[in-house]
Amino acid sequence: MGIRTGEDYINGLQSKKPEIWMEGRRITDITNEPVFKQPIKEIAKLYDMQHDSEYQDKITSICEETGERVSNAFIVPRTYHDLMARRALYEIWAKATFGLMGRTPDFLNVTVTAMASTPEFYAKYNPQWAENIQNYYRYIRDNDLFLTHAIMNPQTDRTKTSKDQKDPYTYLGAVQETEEGIIVRGAKMLATLAPITDEVIIYSFPGFRPGEEDYAISFAVPIDTPGLRLICREPVQDGKRSIFDHPLASRFEEQDAVLVFDDVLVPWDRVFIYKNIEAANRIYSDTGLSQNMHQATVRGLIKLQFAQEVASSIADSIGVDGFLNVQNQLGELVQSVESIRALLRTAENEFTVRPNGEVVPNPIPLETIRGILPKAYPRAIEIIQTIGAGGLLVPPTQADMEALSDDIERYYGGREGVSGEERLHLFKLAWDLTIEGFGQRLVQYERYYSGDPVRKLGMFYNNYKRQNPSFPLVDRALAESKANDSKNKVNTK
Ligand SMILES: Cc1cc2nc3c(=O)[nH]c(=O)nc-3n(C[C@H](O)[C@H](O)[C@H](O)COP(=O)(O)OP(=O)(O)OC[C@H]3O[C@@H](n4cnc5c(N)ncnc54)[C@H](O)[C@@H]3O)c2cc1C
């Protein structure tokens, strides 16, 4: 089949019947549910871009194995050029959503591509797992499927291990084996966009200890697999508000869900790791799975750039960007964007080649972005709030703007040349990004989307120290000082 259109994607959603719960009721017709309608359209637009002559050659390629056109997310980069072709996909899709949708299909498509490109990792433990992950990769590539993932255990009691929780199957684990596969029970979080995806893949952050074998599993199943329940958080919008009033929140909400597996059967051919602590703990370091960081940092850069433009345009619209304090804040934001852009270029230009021939960005600058963004993005939001000040809280609705157009022109306009309607529309955008529940979720997303930044930074430093075990500059400074010291002693004798 190869690349899908938006219509193919929507038809695919309509053909499935996942068990989705939201606000106390079961959602049975996802594509006609107001809250999901617009986000589905936004994802459909991305699929349509694959068929648009303006983008097709930039974001898709011909698959060597099948001769069919597939997304660049499914191509294993063998050269710098391949890597940049993949980056073009990330960038074009991120620009289409202003970087506000983090889990667009490329994120997990790239993840599975990276997992499947290291079959030797799985084969070391079980040759069947290697075959399974490669077949799964081919399946999602050739059908151009959209995945969600859930890697965290529910936040019940973090002082206890998986098996010591009140109920041993609070955290997702294997209960039993059958001829057809394994039965799994328990919950995982936080599956972003799950209700509008085709499949879910499960794996975990490292940290399993002996005795936790039942939880050391990885697999994938269709999102409408019997026994799988999706419990959505309260939506941040009702799907009925005008896009003019909520230019971002009405379009780009990514619903998050907890996944409850109520004795779900996972067929053997969908099992990638089973009761193996070492494999589960090494999946990140040994499979290149974290290649999705490249997607995440390209997208994060676009999102930060968008916030920077919003800050600069609201400052310009009310004529405050001549003040030194405002210029300092706007300058800080521009430098933040430029730092990340430079780090990204460094990561790409200083690419490395994995033993399997896969070209990957240098992880040090990429991880550095991962460390900076959880602070830089909330700071960008704070700057918009500071510059927008009380003005962020005044925009009436579009209906008021029509009913009271004289007042709007007189009291809501901006600096010379900025009409009341223009300024209000811009401030509504800033409201969505900084004040709405939608905007607050976006901040929380940057903090946590790829794990706890506190532990990530600790891991980063440990890895860095392993790769840089000595301190040559310090050693030389000490040696030179000793040498100078003894020379001085000789001279003064
Ligand atoms: C908007 C959003 C979207 C997300 N989307 C996805 C998704 O699509 N798929 C997915 O799998 N996950 C997703 N995540 C979840 C994300 O992976 C987790 O939030 C993240 O890994 C942190 O885990 P946690 O939320 O369980 O926090 P916890 O691990 O419970 O941490 C809570 C607090 O306690 C501290 N803490 C806890 N344990 C320790 C420790 N051992 N040492 C030191 N400090 C500790 C942390 O620093 C933190 O401040 C998403 C998260 C957000 C916010």
What pLDDT is attached to residue 251? 96
Q: How many domains does the chain have?
A: 2
* 221 and 370 housed in the same domain: no
Average pLDDT over residues 376-389: 98
Question: What average pLDDT score do residues 181-195 get?
Answer: 97
Ligand 1 centroid to Cα of residue 412, in Å, is 42
Q: How far away, in angstroms, is 408 Cα from ligand 1 center?
A: 44
* Residue 119 is assigned to a structural domain of this protein: yes
CA distances from 127 to 122, 240, 265, 274, 340 (A): 7, 51, 21, 12, 40
User: Ligand 1 center to residue 450 CA distance, Å?
Assistant: 8
Q: Judge whether residue 289 has pLDDT over 90.
A: no
Point out the ligand 1 atom lying closest to the alpha carbon of residue 442: 1
User: Could you please report the per-residue DSSP string of 71-104?
Assistant: EGGGSPP-SHHHHHHHHHHHHHHHHHTTT--TT-
Residue of minimum CA distance from atom 33 in ligand 1: 452
Is the predicted pLDDT of residue 98 greater than 90, yes or no? Answer: yes
Atom number of ligand 1 nearest to Cα 453: 47
Compute the average pLDDT of residues 378-399: 96
**Shared-domain flag, residues 281 and 317:** no
- Closest CA to ligand 1's atom 17: 451
CA of 192 to the centre of ligand 1 (A): 13
User: Which helix (H) or strand (E) element contains residue 271?
Assistant: strand 271-273
* Alpha carbon nearest to ligand 1 atom 29, residue: 452
Give Cα separations from 12 to 5, 8, 231, 256 (angstroms): 11, 6, 21, 20
Cα separations (Å) of 314 from 304, 329, 427, 476?
15, 13, 7, 51
Q: Whose CA is closest to atom 12 on ligand 1?
A: 190
Q: Could you tell me if 42 and 31 lie in one domain?
A: yes
Q: Based on the domain organization, do 305 and 273 belong to the same domain?
A: no
Give which of 441, 108, 464, 87 is closest to 297, Cα–Cα.
Answer: 87
* Same domain flag for 57 and 46: yes
Task: Specify whether 245 is located in the same domain as 309.
Answer: no
What angle, 0 to 180 degrees and rounded to 10, lies between the N-to-C axes of helices 363-388 and 437-448?
A: 160
How many Å lie between the centroid of ligand 1 and the Cα of residue 105? 22
Sign of CA dihedral 450, 101, 230, 267: negative
Q: Which residues pair with 194 in a beta bridge?
A: none
Mean pLDDT, rounded, for 126-134: 98
Residue 150 Cα, ligand 1 centroid: separation in angstroms?
Answer: 11
For CA atoms 118, 119, 122, 123, the dihedral sign is negative
| Owning domain of residue 61 | 6-287
> Both 280 and 371 in a single domain?
no
Give the residue, out of 148, 259, 449, 461, with the most ligand 1 atoms within 8 A of its beta carbon, to mutate for a pocket test: 449
265 band by pLDDT with thresholds 50, 70 and 90: very high
Q: Give the atom of ligand 1 at the shortest distance from the alpha carbon of 149.
A: 9
Q: Per-residue pLDDT averaged across 281-302, rounded?
A: 93
Distance 444 CA to ligand 1 centre (A): 10
Residue with tokens 């997208």: 299
Residue 477 belongs to a domain: no
With a Cβ cut-off of 6 Å, ligand 1 is lined by 103, 149-152, 155, 158, 190-192, 256, 441, 444-445, 448-449, 451-452, 454-455
Question: Tokens 């936004």 sit at which residue?
Answer: 42
Q: Which of 61, 205, 65, 191 is nearest to 134 (CA)?
A: 65
CATH number of the domain within which 37 lies: 2.40.110.10
- Could you identify the atom of ligand 1 that is nearest to the CA of residue 151? 11
What is the residue with the minimal CA distance to atom 37 of ligand 1? 158
Backbone phi and psi for residue 189, each to the nearest 5 degrees, phi listed first? -135, 170
**CA 448 to ligand 1 center in whole angstroms:** 6
- Atom nearest to 152 CA in ligand 1: 11
For tokens 């009271």, what's the residue? 404
Domain assignment present for 226: yes
Domain-terminating residue out of 287, 316, 340: 287
Quote the ipTM score.
0.97
Domain shared by 269 and 294, yes or no: no
Dump the DSSP string for 137-183. Answer: HHHHHHHT--EEEE-BPPSS-TTS-GGGSSSTTSB-EEEEE-SSEEE
How sure is the predictor about 493, in pLDDT bands with cuts at 50, 70 and 90? low
Is 173 found in the same domain as 28? yes
Structure tokens at 87: 């980056």
Among 239, 271, 287, give the residue marking a domain's end.
287
Which comes out higher in pLDDT, residue 5 or 286?
5
Q: Is the dihedral of CA 479, 482, 485, 491 positive or negative?
A: negative
Residues 252 and 330 in one domain: no
Within a domain: 46: yes
- At residue 492 the predicted structure's pLDDT band, cuts being 50, 70 and 90, is low
Q: Confidence class of residue 487 from pLDDT cuts 50, 70 and 90?
A: confident
Q: Which atom of ligand 1 is nearest to the CA of 451?
A: 21
Distance CA 490, CA 262 (A): 81
Atom 32 in ligand 1: which residue has the minimum CA distance?
452
CA of 152 to the centre of ligand 1 (A): 7
Point out the domain boundary residue: 287, 313, 333: 287
Distance CA 130, CA 125 (A): 9
Report if residue 1 sits inside a domain: no
Say whether both 185 and 313 belong to one domain: no
pLDDT in tens, 14-60: 999 999 999 999 999 999 999 999 999 999 999 999 999 999 999 99
Alpha carbons 132 and 151: distance in angstroms, whole number: 19
Task: Please state the atom number of ligand 1 nearest to the C-alpha of residue 447.
Answer: 53
| Ligand 1, atom 11, residue with closest C-alpha | 150
Distance linking the first and last C-alpha atoms of the chain: 87
For the segment 375-395, the average pLDDT, to the nearest whole number, is 97
Atom of ligand 1 nearest to the CA of 188: 11
Probe residue for ligand 1, chosen from 100, 230, 452 as the CB with the greatest number of ligand atoms within 8 Å: 452
Q: What residues does 181 pair with on adjacent strands? A: 267
In the block, tokens 């996942």 appear at 18
CATH number at residue 409: 1.20.140.10
| Domain assignment present for 361 | yes
SS3 31: helix
CA-to-CA dists, residue 383 to 55, 78, 334, 436, angstroms:
34, 41, 12, 16
pLDDT tens figures, 315-358: 999 999 999 999 999 999 999 999 999 999 999 999 999 988 99
Task: Give the distance (Å) from ligand 1 centre to CA of residue 455.
Answer: 10
Question: For residue 150, which atom of ligand 1 is closest to its CA?
Answer: 11
Place of tokens 């430093």: 461
For residues 269 and 324, state if they share a domain.
Answer: no
Minimal-distance CA residue to ligand 1 atom 42: 455
Q: Which residue has the higher pLDDT, 484 or 172?
A: 172
| Contact in structure between 239 and 41 (CB atoms under 8 Å) | no
CA of 374 to the centre of ligand 1 (A): 13
CA of 126 to the centre of ligand 1 (A): 30
Read off the pLDDT band of 291 (50, 70, 90).
Answer: confident
| Strand bridging mode 181-192 / 69-71 | unpaired
Q: Name the residue at shortest CA distance from atom 31 of ligand 1.
A: 452
Residue 66: what are its φ and ψ, rounded to 5°?
A: -115, -15
Whether residue 3 contacts residue 64, with contact meaning beta carbons closer than 8 Å, is answered with no
Asked if pLDDT for residue 488 goes beyond 90, the answer is no
Stretch 408-421: mean pLDDT: 95
Contact call for residues 329 and 387 (beta carbons, < 8 A): yes
**Summary mean pLDDT of the chain:** 96
Which ligand 1 atom is at minimum distance from the Cα of 445? 1
- Is 474 domain-assigned? no
Q: Residue 13's closest CA among 46, 50, 48, 40? A: 40
Within a domain: 485: no
State yes or no: pLDDT of 491 exceeds 80. Answer: no
Q: What is the mean pLDDT of residues 434-446?
A: 97
pLDDT at residue 73 is higher than 80 = yes
Taking the centre of ligand 1 as the mean of its atom positions, its distance from the CA of residue 108, in whole angstroms, is: 18
